[in-house]
Structure 1
């Protein structure tokens, strides 16, 4: 149902675009840069959100609403709000936070793209990319791939101006510290893998995530009931951005492949205010959180599916069945 609704939303959006807009937003599914992505500043392939009319924007939002939960949508808007606030701090007259993207400065920094033909029977994808935001949704034979997914924020907490005190991606940090502080001393000795946090997430924006770059840390299976609950809540901060059916499928995959094998690793300061980092890694699920840059007020966080980034597992089944 979600797949068909997403297809309809994409077709509605494409039908509303001018030929020039369609040329910007469209690319073949097998385009050579299919797996190229980044969370750094700069232009991306695709149609800038700033070029959407109000009607087109509603169609674009429909794509987001079908794949993302209410919190996922709120986090998406939060990333963009932080971008606006950052620019306001640099230049108070540069941009004002508004409800829409049309003609806005922030809309010029985020790009929407559709790969493949939603009207056909072959796999297709849509993605929204920009500074500190990378959303990738792949649709194959009635199923959805949801990763790589990146959310970041600079600032993590606004220190000055009319927005002072506002925080972004708060639970990713707070639950991480809650879990760390719930560990006993012998468990902390396993979970804390370094006194110094890395400068950024270790899997970076590589097309294929390499879990081998991560430290192992403390397994879920070695935690007590309270610690496991906190660990599950922390995982839920990433998985919970997905719309209900997608999130439930992810939890099922984590459980089937052995939730007890998921590990929690910490590096850096053990109190807020100084650089800190954690990773969560298992047979299929990988998440990283880093808050070290700009005096530990600049968040990078990522969710990767080691089996199904870019819909790889879905695509393998699709091609194995000869559906292409």
Structure 2
């Protein structure tokens, strides 16, 4: 698969971060209105609450004031985006990774490790690293912070960073014909909607360019619906070596392609809705939108194909910690016959086509972006549970 080639002096240092050195962010949440039924944290969420409070205790009074929002603050709850800071609608609030000291970052990483799985933590680190590489190589030729194509219509240039003009803000790309946007890990934000609690609902948010983790915690339950993942670049080439920065993406792409290849001609006719790639449907700002199932339902699959279908779903949801993932996968498996697999795009390789999973309690979108050359190297992906957006099934949202 073609990969982006980077040539600049800082790449070696940057790639060292791919070994998962402490370069990562996370999220935290808050208390508020009582849940529909009294609930108490289990062992897993007790760890989460403890880690959240430990992180908050490292913050100054000013930082605490910036990071905590009321549970009833629906504006902040929905304040997430795939764009870099300064892009359309990307006005994140909370505390920036770049404003945290080493001890605070370590505490935030510990919190992240209780909410997410090890692979989820690796995914977050990889996406932050990828954005640092964009910051180092992007020359400001594209339109308003979308991570989109340069104005000329060509691929984003990656020949090496130009020195930013003196007027450019810290972390922002050089000024081209694009409004100033801020790339890099220091522009990822953490916030809490509500206060960490073992009994009352709260939400932990962490996000930046191509990432929006929204973890709602209610007693023993945690949901990541809705959350946006993906990244750019997924892979880079340097000194004849290819490095995978965001490991989850190729795994998910291969799982979807394996399911497609297992289908009979008749099944494939149903699953392949179009040979033209489509774009993300249920991204930022699309809360409450209904998506009709398309493609091949689980009931039309063989036992082996159903197993592969569950592997595909678990590859996406597996960023969640094992305890909460098991509960979620149990519900999805019960509804698998009513869950659909749909493919939009070329059918000859993994990663370049859009695929979608649509079921009673799960919606997954995998959306490659072709505006930077290789679609498989720039992804906008979504996970939603239509029955439990922002934990609505567990609590009363205002």
- Which structure ranks higher in relative contact order (CA pairs < 8 Å, sequence separation ≥ 6)? 2
Cα gap change, 1:184/1:287 in structure 2, threshold over 3 Å: closer, same or farther?
same
Q: 1:37 aligns with which of 55, 60, 80?
A: 80
Report if aligned partners of 2:129, 2:185 keep a CA contact under 8 Å in 1: no
Q: Report deviation, 1:215.
A: 4.9
Answer yes or no: is the 8 Å Cα contact 1:145–1:314 preserved in 2: no
Partner of 2:356, secondary structure, is strand
1:118 maps to 196
1:1-324 equivalences in 2 (<5 Å): 1-33=43-75, 34-42=77-85, 43-90=91-138, 92=160, 106-119=184-197, 121-158=199-236, 160-162=237-239, 165-167=242-244, 168=246, 169-198=249-278, 200-206=279-285, 208-212=287-291, 214-256=292-334, 258-272=335-349, 275-293=352-370, 294-295=372-373, 296=375, 297-316=377-396
The offset of 1:120, in angstroms, is 7.7
Task: Please tell me whether the aligned partners of residues 254 and 284 of structure 1 are also in contact (alpha carbons under 8 angstroms).
Answer: yes
Structure 1 runs not aligned, ≥5 long: 96-102
CA distance 1:59–1:269, change in 2 (3 Å): same
Query: Aligned partners of 1:249, 1:132: CA distance in 2, in Å?
Result: 27
Q: RMSD over aligned Cα, in angstroms?
A: 2.5
1:45-93: CA deviation from partner (whole Å, max 9, x where unpaired): 1100111111111211121111111111111111112212223333646
Structure 2 residue runs of 5 or longer lacking an equivalent are: 1-42, 86-90, 140-159, 164-170, 172-181
Deviation at 1:114, TM superposition (A): 1.1
What is aligned with 1:100?
Answer: none
- CA 1:119 to 1:267, structure 2 compared with 1: closer, same or farther past 3 Å? closer
SS at match of 1:166: strand
- Aligned-partner Cα distance in 2 for 1:29–1:306: 20
Work out the CA distance in 2 between the residues paired with 1:76 and 1:10. Answer: 18
TM-score of the superposed pair, with normalisation by structure 1: 0.87
Aligned residues: 307
* Pair 274,288 (structure 1): closer, same or farther in 2 beyond 3 Å: closer
Structure showing the higher helix proportion among its residues: 1
